[in-house]
Amino acid sequence: MPQKISIIGAGYVGLTSGVCLASLGHQVICVDKDKDKLGQLEKAIIPIYEPGLAELLKEHQTNISFTDDLAEAVKQSDVIFIAVGTPSLANGDVDLSFFEQAVVEAARNMQGYKVIVDKSTVPVGAGDWVKNEIKKYFFGEFSVVSNPEFLREGTAIKDFLRPDRVVIGCDNNDTRAKNIMSDIYCAIDCPKFITDLKSAEMIKYASNSFLAAKISFINEIANICEKTGANVGEVAQGMGLDSRIGPKFLQAGIGFGGSCFPKDVAGLISIAQKNNYSPLILQAVMAVNESQRDLFAEKIIGLLQKNNGKTAALWGLAFKPETDDIRHSPAVDIIKKLLTAGFNVQAYDPAAMDNMKAIFPSGQVKFCDTALQAVEKADVLALVTDWLEFSQTDFSKVKSAMRLPIIIDGRNFLDPIVLRNLGFDYFGIGRTDF
Ligand code: UGA
C-alpha cells in the first residue's frame, strides 16, 4: 500500500531516498530550508551530481513535492524520515544539531500516530533520545525506527532500489511500525533485517568502518608490496578469491575520502572513547588513510625534485569518480602539499572543478578545461581520481604535451604496459613489476 512519507533534509541521502520512494509509488514530501534548492527541485533540476536522479525525478514528479513548510509536511504524512546531515565536529564527535532540530520541529507538529524514521547516521542511543524528546511535545502514540542508508554517491539509485539488505531497527513489540516499514520496502527484493534500535544504529557505523578498514588494510599491504617487490593488484585478486574475504573494497590507492567513511570512522572512535573503550583498529584505519595521501604527495614531490621539474598535473579532484564531491578528497591535501613545497599545480576534473575553485581561489591552482590542457608542459602527471575519461585519453597526445613523460597513478587505474610502450615512466601504488 502506498504510504504518505515526509523526508526532512533534501541532501544526498534525503533527496535520493525521496525520489526512489516516489518511484516505488509512495507519496513523498521533501522538506528543506534552502529555498533556492527547493525552487530547482520543483523544476526537476537536481542540485547534486548523481547520474540518473534527474531523469527518475521527472518520471515520478507526480508522486513527490518539495517544501520548506515542515509543519504542514508532518501533518500530511504518516511516516517522517529524518535525513539531515550529521557532520563531524573538530574533535571527531558527531554534530547532532541539525538532527535534534528536525526531531523537535517534527514532534511539535505531530497530531496523530506517526513513524519517525531515522536515516541520518547518528550515534548508538540516538533513537532512545528521539523517543524521550518527542514525549515532551506529543502525548499520543508514535514509533521510532532506525533505517540506516547504505547508498553510495555515483550509484545512489541502484544502491537504494537494489540494495544488499534493508536494515530496520525498532522495539521488538512494535508490530505497527514493522508492518509500515515492510510496506514501504515491499517492492524491493532483498533481505529485510529487522533488529533493535541500537543494533541498527551500530550496523551503519560498523559497516562503513569495516569497509574503510578493508581499504586501509590493502593500502598497508600495498606499501609493504612496494618494499618487497610483490604486486598489490595480484595480491588483492588472490585474497579476494577466498569467499571469506571477497574481492570488493580491496582496491589499493591513495585512500578513502568523501563525506561518510572519514566522518563515520571518527564518529565510532568518539562513541567508543565516550564509553571508555580505546578502539585501536579504528584509530589505525584513520592513521593509515591519512599517511597514504601524504606518501603519494611525497612521491610526486620526489619525482619533481629528481627531474628538476616545477609543475604537476592533477587528473581528478573528486574523492571518487561520478561525483562532484570533494569533501575529504585526497586531492585537497595533495594540492596543499605541492603548493607548500613550491610547485605549480594544473588540475582538471570532469565534475568537481567549481567545488575545488572555492578552496583554492584565484591563481593558486591552474584549473584547466580538459585533461589534455592540464598536462600542458607538466613535469609529472598524477592521477588522483579514477574517472573513466582518463583511461580513454589519447596518451600519445599526453606525451607530446608534457615536458617530461612521467605518470604516477594513485588508483592503479591506467595500463602500465601501454604507457611504458609509449615511452612513459609509470609509477603505481604497491607495484614495481614493470
Ligand atoms: C560509502 C559507503 O560505501 C555507502 O555504503 C554508505 O551509504 C555511504 O558511504 C554513506 O555512509 O553515506 P561513498 O562514500 O559514497 O559510500 O563512497 P564509496 O564508493 O564507498 O567510496 C569511499 C571511498 O573509498 C572513495 O574515496 C573511494 O575512492 C575509496 N575506495 C573504495 C578505495 O580507495 N578502494 C576501494 O577498494 C573502494
Q: Per residue in 13-33, pLDDT tens?
A: 999 999 999 999 999 999 999
Confidence tier at 38 by pLDDT (50, 70, 90) = very high
R_g of the chain, CA atoms, integer Å: 24
**pLDDT grade for 254, boundaries at 50, 70 and 90:** very high
The preferred substitution site among 208, 250, 254 for testing ligand 1, maximizing ligand atoms within 8 Å of CB, is: 208
Would you state the cell numbers that stand for residue 286, as one nine-digit string?
584513520
Say if residues 409 and 429 touch (Cβ distance below 8 Å): yes
Distances (CA, A) of 421 to 399, 410, 416: 12, 20, 8
Distance of CA 145 to CAs 25, 194, 198, Å? Answer: 21, 10, 10
> What are the strands of the beta sheet with 311-315, ordered from one edge?
366-367, 344-348, 311-315, 380-383, 406-409, 425-427
Q: Give yes or no for residue 362 having a pLDDT over 80.
A: no
Q: Which of 20, 50, 152, 157 to mutate to test the pocket of ligand 1 (most atoms within 8 A of CB)?
A: 152
| pLDDT value, residue 1 | 86
Q: Any idea what DSSP says for residue 86?
A: -
Q: Is 256 in the pocket of ligand 1 (CB under 6 A)?
A: yes
Cα 292 to ligand 1 centroid, rounded to whole Å: 16
Nearest to 142 by CA among 168, 180, 96: 180
320 lines ligand 1 (CB under 6 A): yes
Written as one letter, the residue type at 431 is R
Stretch 153-167: mean pLDDT: 96
Counting ligand 1 atoms within 8 A of each CB, the residue from 216, 239, 254, 256 with the most, and so the one to mutate, is: 256
Each residue's pLDDT tens digit, 304-338:
999 999 999 999 999 999 999 999 999 999 999 99
pLDDT per position as a tens digit, 397-417: 999 999 999 999 999 999 999
Q: Which atom of ligand 1 is nearest to the CA of 204?
A: 11
- Can you tell me the mean pLDDT for 339-365? 94
Residue nearest to atom 16 of ligand 1 (CA): 152
Ligand 1: atom nearest CA of 329 is 26
Report whether residue 81 contacts ligand 1, using a CB cutoff of 6 Å: no
Question: Which pTM was predicted?
Answer: 0.95
d(CA 68, CA 8): 9
Ligand 1 pocket residue status of 253, Cβ below 6 Å: yes
Q: Report yes or no: 192 and 399 within 8 Å, Cβ to Cβ.
A: no
| Any atom of ligand 1 within 6 Å of the Cβ of 208 | yes
Task: Look up residue 32 and give its amino acid.
Answer: D
- For residue 236 and ligand 1, the question of a CB distance below 6 A is answered with no
Return d(Cα 201, Cα 207) in angstroms, integer: 10
**pLDDT class of 433 with cuts at 50, 70, 90:** low
Work out the average pLDDT over 361-385.
95
Q: How high is the pLDDT of residue 92?
A: 80
Determine how many CB atoms are found less than 10 A away from the CB of residue 240: 15
Mean pLDDT of the residues in the chain: 96
pLDDT of residue 389: 97
Write down all domains in the chain, each with its CATH number in brackets: 4-195 (3.40.50.720), 261-427 (3.40.50.720)
* pLDDT for the residue 355: 95
pLDDT category of residue 245 using cuts at 50, 70 and 90:
very high
The model's confidence at residue 93, banded by pLDDT at 50, 70 and 90, is confident
Nearest Cα to 289, choosing from 238, 380, 222, 341?
A: 222
Would the CB of 142 count as within 6 Å of ligand 1?
no
Tell me, what's the pLDDT at 434? 60
Answer whether 325 contacts ligand 1 (Cβ < 6 A).
no
Average pLDDT over every residue of 376-390: 98
Q: 251 C-alpha vs ligand 1 centroid, how far in Å?
A: 11
Catalytic positions are 260
Give the Å distance between the CA of 219 and the centre of ligand 1.
15
User: 261 C-alpha vs ligand 1 centroid, how far in Å?
Assistant: 7
- Percent of the chain residues topping a pLDDT of 90: 96
Q: What is the mean pLDDT of residues 243-260?
A: 97
Burial of 277 (0-12, 13-18, 19+ CB in 10 A): exposed
